[in-house]
Amino acid sequence: MAGSTTLALYITISCVAFVISKIIISSLLYRRWTRKHRIVRDTLSGGKLVILRSPTTQSLSTKVFMKKTMKLSNKDIIGSGGHGTVYRLAIDDTITFAVKRLNKGNSDRERGFERELDAMADIKHRNIVSLYGYYIAPQFNLLVYELMPNGNLDTLLHGTASIAKPLDWPTRYKIAVGTARGLAYLHHDCVPHIIHRDIKSSNILLDHNMEARVSDFGLATLIKPDHSHVSTIVAGTFGYLAPEYFETGRATTKGDVYSFGVVLLELLTGKRPTDESFIEEGTKLVTWVKGILELKKEEHAVDKALSCYPMDEVKKVFHVAEKCLESDPLERPTMAEVYKMLEQVNTSSI
């Protein structure tokens, strides 16, 4: 009898200790979270604004932020995509943000929003666009990013008259290395690892220094090490998707490597992956370049807008792209290897 009373006592003490430790751990985690974030409830719109603590947001008045955000209009639009509209938000002469607005009512967008938050909240890297905060309201959600003054790579490479002069080779090379560095960080250094799933030139933004920043994590997948993600729908952008993705629907880091290979070809050739001339000829950028590389005639594929470039470097970058674009994903290098190979193309310029 005494034995069973002692046992009951032990079980009770263990349960109480377990519950207390859970409460302590939860409150410590909450305190850590609130130290990193600043939460403001906006009673007018019924929304919740979360500003992530950073040197840029330190002096930011949330009242001013909300007031200016609510006044955003069509004249402030800097871009739009499948997941929302992006506005330029100027708080004052020194503080500007890019605000992505996602309308509610579409569950895909909701999922995109949550994925983007999960994927981005803790990432701080020189080649990834920083998230400064977010706003959740009944009618719409907002993501607040650092503003990239030089826009996106797609416009810089393929845009029309508004672009003053074509990108020179050192800038293209720097963008290639920076993007590879950012992607290698997502694949290998983030916990959990992140598959971007929508690498394309319009998702590579340029800062004031023409340093590449990977953006748009709307389709990103968080994966545990050594696992790949299986999705039931084919997502991503036509022209950039790895061939195996159409068959398996499986998003893998090697799928991102393939898409990055397509971006390298855009930088080298100045052509879009779905250029009209390819469609007319029943081919595509990847097939066209592979044919030229087999003949060892790289100079025929180089962007005509590049007036002066070191042929040996260009050839090496074509070679890296070729490896990224292997049909068999197992033959493709990892993003860390791609970054290393690119870095070695010109050791003096980085």
Ligand X SMILES: Nc1ncnc2c1ncn2[C@@H]1O[C@H](COP(=O)(O)OP(=O)(O)OP(=O)(O)O)[C@@H](O)[C@H]1O
CA–centroid distance for 288 within its chain: 28
Q: Which is nearer to ligand X, 81 or 166 (CB)?
A: 81
The Cα–Cα gap between 124 and 129 comes to 8
Q: Which is nearer to ligand X, 148 or 184 (CB)?
A: 148
Q: Are residues 233 and 222 in contact, defined by beta-carbon separation less than 8 angstroms?
A: no
Which three-class secondary structure string do you get for the chain? CHHHHHHHHHHHHHHHHHHHHHHHHHHHHHHHHHHHEEEEEECCCCEEEEEECCCCCCCCCHHHHHHHHHCCCHHHEEEEECCEEEEEEECCCCCEEEEEEEECCCHHHHHHHHHHHHHHCCCCCCCECCEEEEEECCCEEEEEEECCCCCEHHHHHHCCCCCCCCCCHHHHHHHHHHHHHHHHHHHHHCCCEEECCCCCHHHEEECCCCCEEECCCCCCEEECCCCCEECCCCCCCCCCCCHHHHHHCEECHHHHHHHHHHHHHHHHHCCCCCCHHHHHCCCCHHHHHHHHHHCCCHHHCCCCCCCCCCHHHHHHHHHHHHHHCCCCHHHCCCHHHHHHHHHCCCCCCC
Min dist. Cβ of residue 35 to ligand X (A): 25
Dihedral angle of Cα 207, 208, 209, 212, to the nearest 10 degrees: 10
Min dist. Cβ of residue 242 to ligand X (A): 17
The residues binding ligand X (CB under 6 A) are 78-84, 86, 98, 100, 129, 145, 147-148, 151-152, 198, 202-203, 205, 215-216, 218
Min dist. Cβ of residue 343 to ligand X (A): 26
From 42, 108, 122, 198, active-site residue: 198
Q: Which is nearer to ligand X, 267 or 345 (CB)?
A: 267
Min dist. Cβ of residue 76 to ligand X (A): 12
124 annotated to a ligand binding site: no
Q: Which is nearer to ligand X, 57 or 203 (CB)?
A: 203
154 is catalytic: no
Min dist. Cβ of residue 89 to ligand X (A): 10
Min dist. Cβ of residue 94 to ligand X (A): 16
Q: Which residue is nearest to ligand X (CB)?
A: 81
Q: Which is nearer to ligand X, 129 or 176 (CB)?
A: 129
Q: Which is nearer to ligand X, 78 or 336 (CB)?
A: 78
Annotated catalytic sites, by residue? 198
The binding site consists of 100
- Residues that constitute the known binding site for ATP: 100
